[in-house]
């Protein structure tokens, strides 16, 4: 049961790092973006009339991703535990 809790915790941590990493990258790109307004006005077809922020996806994908990563973490932790018990037994 302890190994399952560790796998779920690792999956949660991986998802948190991914989400905050994505947000941080977007924030940094927003800070360093410098538009070239003169060139944009010369090419009117490049100007957009709408702006969209964010992404839309099913919450089931997040749940599936969480469970899948937890399973892989469980498998890796189980492999490490068995390998360390073999080494200790020798």
pTM of the model: 0.70
**pLDDT tens column, 21-77:** 999 999 999 999 888 777 767 766 655 666 667 767 788 998 999 999 999 999 999
What pLDDT, on the 0 to 100 scale, is given for residue 32?
93
With bands split at pLDDT 50, 70 and 90, how would you rate the model's confidence at 88? confident
More confident residue, 84 or 50: 84
Rounded CA separation 74/64 (Å): 15
Q: What is the 3-state secondary structure (H, E, C) of the chain?
A: CHHHHHHHHHHHHHHHHHHHHHHHHHHHHHHHCCCCHHHHHHCHHHCCCCCCCCCCCCHHHHHHHHHHHHHHHHHHHHHHHHHHHHHHHC
């Amino acid at each position: 049961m302890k190994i399952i809790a560790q796998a779920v915790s690792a999956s949660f941590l991986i998802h948190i790092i991914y989400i905050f990493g994505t947000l941080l990258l977007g924030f940094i790109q927003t800070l360093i973006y410098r538009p070239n307004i003169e060139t944009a006005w010369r090419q009117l077809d490049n100007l957009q009339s709408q702006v969209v922020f964010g992404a839309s996806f099913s919450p089931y994908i997040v749940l599936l991703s969480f469970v899948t990563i937890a399973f892989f973490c469980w498998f890796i932790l189980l492999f490490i535990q068995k390998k360390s018990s073999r080494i200790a037994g020798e």
